[in-house]
Amino acid sequence: DGGITQSPKYLFRKEGQNVTLSCEQNLNHDAMYWYRQDPGQGLRLIYYSQIVNDFQKGDIAEGYSVSREKKESFPLTVTSAQKNPTAFYLCASRTIASNQPQHFGDGTRLSIL
């Protein structure tokens, strides 16, 4: 089945620790995205990538880092510089054809220990 796989489903971070969220897709999509969702709020864009080895900051990139070494994979690292990391993190992807929707993985819920 084609889809977007995020792992883990739940993640706990200790103070001062970096953690990495995985996102893998087998849809052959070129563009991939990371969003953060806080309770009762909409989606805020962290980073996005339109092509391998290239990515751009979104609206709330501070405290996060990404890499895009393979078309299928777009991992997100939440660094210790992100002081309020507790949120629901969503990965999405889409084709680069015009006006196409984004499709989402199941999300990772990150909490602070």
Partner 1 sequence: QKEVEQNSGPLSVPEGAIASLNCTYSDRGSQSFFWYRQYSGKSPELIMSIYSNGDKEDGRFTAQLNKASQYVSLLIRDSQPSDSATYLCAVGGPSDYKLSFGAGTTVTVRA
The nearer residue to partner 1, 16 or 40, going by C-beta atoms, is 40
The nearer residue to partner 1, 2 or 101, going by C-beta atoms, is 101
Q: How far apart are CA 103 and CA 25, in angstroms?
A: 10
Q: How many residues does the structure list for the chain?
A: 113
Smallest gap from Cβ 16 to partner 1, in A, equals 29
Q: Which residues pair with 86 in a beta bridge?
A: none
DSSP tag of 9: S
What is the token pair recorded at 45? 């864009």
The nearer residue to partner 1, 80 or 104, going by C-beta atoms, is 104
Q: Which residues pair with 36 in a beta bridge?
A: 44, 89
Residues of this chain that interact with partner 1 (CB under 8 A) are: 31, 33, 40-43, 45, 48, 50, 58-59, 90, 94, 96, 98-107
Smallest gap from Cβ 19 to partner 1, in A, equals 19
